[in-house]
Amino acid sequence: MTLDDRIRKDLEDLYNSGILKFIEQFKNCKIKEAEELSMNLFGTPNEISTHGLPGYYAGKRDAKTVMVMLNPGVDSTSHDNPFVTEETLKKQGIMTGTIDDFFNSYKDGSKNYGDIDKDRIDNFDIKQAAFLKAWDESESGVVIPKDFPDKIKDLPQKAKESLLKRVKQNVLMQKLQLDLIPYASREFKKVEKEKMHFLFPYIDSLFGEIFSCERKYVMFCSDFFDTLFKMYSDDKEYTGSIEFGDKKDMVLFQKDNKKDRKAYCTPIKITYNKGKAMTSIHAVIAHTFPNKALPNAYDKMKEYGEFCFNCYNDYKNLNP
């Protein structure tokens, strides 16, 4: 068989099976709000995932502890792959017989993701546990094993892997993790200030969920929330408001003959109208949480979490 024969045969397989129709159908299979948001923020429909499953939350909806991220940090092109969606549907047991099946089983998969994915070690999830180590376990509801993270380096490999899997499962199942934007992208590019208002409805959805039941600890895990919340709080169209404490810093890494690397935290108090009465809750903006130097530095993430916990308590005591 000649090279041209092979090329023609392969292309005939694709052509006769409807590759062009499939591409057109796939292009129309999208989340309209994701495409609109991508256009509004970045001027292109493909900066964030529009074809893949959204990632709204993981864990207990009524958990005492809530950690809020910007959005699922997955490359949008990879996330939009239909084979990835198919695998996710299977893995999480999401049924698509009817829209009610789809809706209810999606929520079940989000709630139980810590059990579904318990055998995979993920540094992003584990560093959340390190951050929460210093937060009062009796109040947070998140059980962090006593050997983590201080003794993790001294354990044999199998024992270490077993401990990390348990740490990950606990932190995913015993708290609520929310995403400001449920649509995946590898990097959430800088949003111009004049476009921030497109995110305000998503803040309202976040606050609605956070204030839907009693919470103890709430953390917003990105510096991005600082600017976003200040602009949201100034917009009179929305009922929520945020009072800011002083931004605090700590030395995270000491550099010889170089400038020390610092970590930052701002305590805040959120007031939100649930429809009946104005209600307030204390929280923190953990500016440095996404720092790329921290995923494997569990000891440093523990120190940073303790620092944020102290900022939270100091501010709450002075501003009840």
Phi first, then psi: give them for residue 90, nearest 5 degrees: -70, -45
Confidence of residue 276 (pLDDT cuts 50, 70, 90): low
pLDDT in tens, 16-38: 999 999 989 988 999 999 999 99
The pLDDT-based confidence of 295 (bands split at 50, 70, 90) is low
> How many Cβ atoms from other residues are within 10 Å of residue 89's Cβ?
17
Q: Are 294 and 224 spatial neighbours (Cβ–Cβ below 8 Å)?
A: no
CA distance 247 to 229: 14
- Retrieve residue 19's tokens: 């590759």
Q: Which of 123-127, 204-208, 249-253, 281-285 has the highest mean pLDDT?
A: 281-285
More confident residue, 97 or 153: 97
Angle between helices 123-132 and 298-318 (to 10 degrees): 40
User: Which of 301, 261, 260, 304 lies closest to 284, judged by CA?
Assistant: 304
223 with 231: CB under 8 angstroms? no
Instruction: Pick 138 or 234 by higher pLDDT.
Output: 138
Q: How long is the chain?
A: 320
278 pLDDT higher than 70: no
Q: How confident is the model at residue 277 (pLDDT cuts 50, 70, 90)?
A: low
pLDDT of residue 197: 95
| Structural contact between residues 271 and 240, judged by C-beta atoms closer than 8 angstroms | yes
Output the pLDDT for position 181: 96
Q: Which residue has the tokens 């620092």?
A: 307
Q: How many angstroms separate the CA atoms of 232 and 230, rounded?
A: 6
Mean pLDDT of the region 209-232: 95
Q: Where are the domains of the chain?
A: 57-318
Tokens of 207: 């606050």
User: Residue 274: pLDDT above 70?
Assistant: no
pLDDT in tens, 222-272: 999 999 999 998 877 777 889 999 999 999 877 766 777 899 999 999 999
CA gap 88, 93 in Å, rounded: 8
What distance in Å separates the CA atoms of residue 258 and residue 225, rounded to the nearest whole number? Answer: 29
**How many CB atoms within 10 Å of residue 282?**
21
**How many Å apart are CA 167 and CA 143, to the nearest integer?**
8
State how far the Cα of 51 lies from the Cα of 1, in Å rounded to an integer.
Answer: 39
**3-class DSSP assignment, residue 290:** coil
Looking at residues 51-68, what average pLDDT do you find?
97
